[in-house]
Structure formats: C-alpha cells, structure tokens
C-alpha cells in the first residue's frame, strides 16, 4: 500500500512536482502517465527515497520514507529510468550483489535462479552485462527490482528497449506480479498502461490532472460525439451531402483508403443519431458504405486532451482561461472549415487546369488538321468550349 499525500518538490522557483496526492492499494497496478518532464520520475524518486520532498509525505506500507527510510526502502523494488546496473559485472555477480545489498533472507541461489527464470535471463546469467543488448539489460534491471520479493514495485518505463515479444512477456509478468504486489508503473506507451493497469494517474507540469480507471477517464472526457464512416463515392459530393445532413456538426475527410474511398470523421450534435439518415443518403445516391465505427475515445485521446488542457478535470479553470479555450476551439473549428472549403476550391482549380490542358492539346492536334478539314475543326472547338463550360460549372458547385 502506497499513500502519497501533498507531495511537492521545488527546485528554486520551479515546481517540479506540486501537491500530488494519490493512493495505491495492495495488489493494485497503478499506471503513471504524463508527457516528458511532467514530474513522473521526480515523483517516483521521492517515493523511493532517492531524493527528498520539499513538503508532503510518501508512506510505504505504513512507513514514512523520510522518517524511516531504511525500513521503507526495504519494502520497495525500484527500477529507475536508467537501470542501476554495473556493466563490468556478470549478471549473476550483479544479482548476488543486489541480494547482499538488500540484506535478503530468502535462500540465495534458489531465489536468484527464480528471479532469472521469471524475467528470462537464465541463459545469459554468466555473461558480463557490458556485452548484453539493451533488452537484456532492461530485464536485468527488472530482476534487480524483484530480488528480495519486495511487496511494492516501482517501475519507471520497464519495457523500454524490449522487442515486441519481450514486451508482451514483461507485461504479462507485471500483471502476474500485480496480483500479490503493489505496483506503480510509468510508461509512454498508452496501450501498455491500458493493458496492464487497474488504475491510471495522469500528471502534467507537476500537478495531478486525472485519476481513475481507463474507462472512467474515457467516460469523463467524452465531450464529443464522433464516428468514422468509410464511404465509396466522389469525395466532394459525399462531403457536401453528409455535411448537409441534419445534426451533423462537422465532417473531416482526410484519410484516403482507395480510389474514391475515404474515411469521413463525422461529428454530430450530442444526443443525436445520424446513422439511419446517413445510411439512407448513401443508398439513395448509390454510394457504398464500407465501414461505420463510433469513434470511442481511446486513452490516447484522453491523454492528449488532458495534456493539451482542452478539458478540465479536477483543476477548476478561471473564467478567462475557459473563455480563451473556447475561443481557441472556435478558431480551430473555423480554420478547419475554411481548410475544407479551400481544399474544395483547390480541387476545382486543379480540375479546371486539367481540363484546360486537355483542351489545349486537342486544339493543337486539330490545328494540324485544319488544312484538311476546316469545317470539322470548327464544330469540334465549339463542342470543346461547351464541355469546358460544363466542367467549370461543376467545379463551382
């Protein structure tokens, strides 16, 4: 059990970590998220007693890390961002050293062998760490944290440098460990956090901005209603028709999936359902609907939203800030719309240019033939002019 209460770390005027509180229950895996420099590692360093806190407390299994560091540290297995491994030692030698360092009481050779088996480094246990790849070093670092079977594990990006197979192995290992350990896990890989963690804490600029399960966070954040429709049909027409459906707020078509096939991100008014209308429209026009997917807010979206400050969670924003955000969102929407219009205009111009080029070519060809048949060319030219005009008309639409 880990209790973090009002933890602060100030470097001069800079508040690296500002008033963070959370709790991790026994047998819980807590995911620790945040952009680079948010204060994740600083917080972990404070919990593990590597650095002191400016104020606040971190309590591990009921022992304050500042008051009784030796005892509190004995509960923790810590894998820092850079594994603290001595590269001039063999894996076995190093783990034996850690065993001594932690004053371990478990049967030595059996325990070390068990840990090696757990993180799958048994085959390299006699090699010098210097000669191991990054993935193996990372696993030696993890082994080091597991020595002594501490009840609390704090892992700072444990899967960095591993190949996909190893990542899956380590994840399932962490999940298994989570059953009888308290785990704090930080990672940049959101899917990893989602796959492994029971609960997620997001910090940004040193403050805690979200705390909850992945689903809770996604629900809390679901301020918008989007779906993605993959439709086969002329892009311009589809765009326009969909945009004109009732209750549709905006349409973005930027993912080309094939010839005449596009993904359209459709945002609708809250509490409305445009699926039927959309379906009807597509049938009427003779297009094809290839896919329709509600755009469920992924953890990525939640994370980005929180980090970019679009959505306020616990932090109450001032009125002015709210207004600024609203303006920014408004401008963003307008720019988006304008960009869509501009794209249409550009496409029109391009089509026009193409048509003109084609016309000019035909003209050249016909000029060569003038001597032979003047009358015929005249009629051809008129018909060309007609088609040109038609096309221009179409573009303007």
Partner 1 sequence: MGAIFRREMGAFFSSAIAYIFLGVLFEIAGFFFINGTLSYGTADLSGTFGSVFLFLIFLIPLMTMKLFSEEKRQKTEQGLLTAPISITEMVLGKYFAALALYTIGISIFLLFALIIEFFGGVVWATVLSNFVALFFLGAAFIAVSLFVSTLTENQIISAILGFLALLVLYLIDSIANAVNVEFISKILKTLSFYARYNEFVTGLFNLSSVLFFVSVAVVFNFLSVRVFEKRRWS
Footprint on this chain of partner 1 (rule: CB under 8 A): 11, 45, 48-52, 69-71, 73-74, 76, 78, 80, 82, 84-89, 93, 97-98, 100-103, 144
Q: Which is nearer to partner 1, 71 or 243 (CB)?
A: 71
Asked whether the beta carbons of 261 and 235 are under 8 A apart, the reply is no
Q: CA-based angle 363:369:372, to the nearest 5? A: 145
C-beta atoms surrounding 243 within 10 Å: 16
**Core vs surface per residue 130-168: b (16+ CB within 10 A) or e:** eebeebbbbbbbbbbbbbbbbbbbbbbbbbbbbeeebbe
In the complex, the smallest distance separating the C-beta of residue 350 from partner 1, rounded to whole angstroms, is 56
In the complex, the smallest distance separating the C-beta of residue 73 from partner 1, rounded to whole angstroms, is 4
In the complex, the smallest distance separating the C-beta of residue 95 from partner 1, rounded to whole angstroms, is 12
In the complex, the smallest distance separating the C-beta of residue 149 from partner 1, rounded to whole angstroms, is 14
Is the four-CA dihedral 365, 369, 374, 379 of positive or negative sign?
negative
Q: What distance in Å separates the CA atoms of residue 181 and residue 308, rounded to the nearest whole number?
A: 33
In the complex, the smallest distance separating the C-beta of residue 11 from partner 1, rounded to whole angstroms, is 8
In the complex, the smallest distance separating the C-beta of residue 96 from partner 1, rounded to whole angstroms, is 9
Q: Which is nearer to partner 1, 130 or 283 (CB)?
A: 130
Q: Which is nearer to partner 1, 102 or 243 (CB)?
A: 102
Q: Which is nearer to partner 1, 73 or 311 (CB)?
A: 73
User: Phi and psi dihedrals of 108, rounded to 5?
Assistant: -55, -65
Q: What distance in Å separates the CA atoms of residue 262 and residue 254, rounded to the nearest whole number?
A: 7
In the complex, the smallest distance separating the C-beta of residue 118 from partner 1, rounded to whole angstroms, is 19
Q: Which is nearer to partner 1, 49 or 233 (CB)?
A: 49
Q: Which is nearer to partner 1, 73 or 111 (CB)?
A: 73
Q: Which is nearer to partner 1, 30 or 129 (CB)?
A: 129
In the complex, the smallest distance separating the C-beta of residue 176 from partner 1, rounded to whole angstroms, is 24
Q: Which is nearer to partner 1, 29 or 104 (CB)?
A: 104
């Amino acid at each position: 059990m880990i209790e973090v209460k009002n933890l602060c770390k100030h470097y001069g005027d800079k508040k690296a970590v500002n008033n963070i509180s959370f709790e991790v229950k026994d047998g819980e895996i807590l995911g620790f998220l945040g952009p680079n420099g948010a204060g994740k590692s600083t917080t972990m360093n404070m919990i593990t007693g590597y650095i002191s806190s400016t104020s606040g407390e971190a309590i591990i299994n009921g022992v304050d890390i500042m008051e009784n560091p030796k005892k509190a540290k004995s509960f923790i297995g810590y894998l820092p961002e850079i594994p603290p491994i001595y590269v001039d030692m063999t894996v076995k030698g190093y783990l034996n050293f850690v065993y001594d360092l932690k004053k371990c009481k478990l049967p030595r050779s059996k325990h070390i062998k068990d840990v090696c088996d757990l993180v799958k480094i048994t085959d390299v246990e006699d090699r010098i760490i210097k000669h191991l790849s990054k993935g193996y070093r990372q696993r030696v670092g993890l082994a080091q944290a597991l020595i002594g079977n501490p009840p609390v594990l704090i892992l700072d990006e444990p899967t960095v440098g591993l190949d996909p197979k190893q990542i899956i192995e380590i994840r399932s290992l962490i999940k298994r460990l989570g059953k009888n350990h308290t785990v704090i896990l930080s990672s940049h890989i959101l899917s990893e956090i989602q796959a492994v963690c029971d609960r997620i804490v997001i910090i940004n600029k040193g403050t805690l901005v979200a705390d909850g399960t992945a689903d809770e966070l996604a629900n809390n954040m679901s301020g918008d209603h989007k779906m993605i429709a993959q439709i086969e049909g002329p892009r311009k027409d589809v765009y326009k028709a969909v945009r004109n459906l009732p209750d549709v707020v905006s349409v973005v078509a930027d993912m080309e999936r094939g010839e005449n096939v596009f993904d359209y991100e459709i945002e609708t008014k809250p509490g409305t359902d445009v699926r039927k209308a959309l379906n009807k429209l597509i049938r009427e026009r003779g297009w094809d609907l290839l896919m329709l997917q509600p755009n469920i807010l992924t953890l990525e979206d939640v994370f980005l939203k929180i980090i970019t400050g679009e959505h306020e969670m616990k932090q109450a924003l001032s009125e002015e800030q709210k207004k600024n955000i609203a303006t920014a969102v408004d401008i963003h929407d307008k720019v988006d719309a304008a960009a869509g219009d501009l794209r249409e205009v550009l496409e029109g111009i391009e089509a026009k240019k193409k048509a003109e080029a084609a016309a000019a070519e035909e003209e050249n060809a016909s000029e060569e033939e003038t001597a032979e048949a003047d009358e015929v060319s005249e009629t051809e030219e008129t018909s060309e002019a007609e088609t040109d005009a038609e096309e221009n008309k179409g573009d303007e639409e």
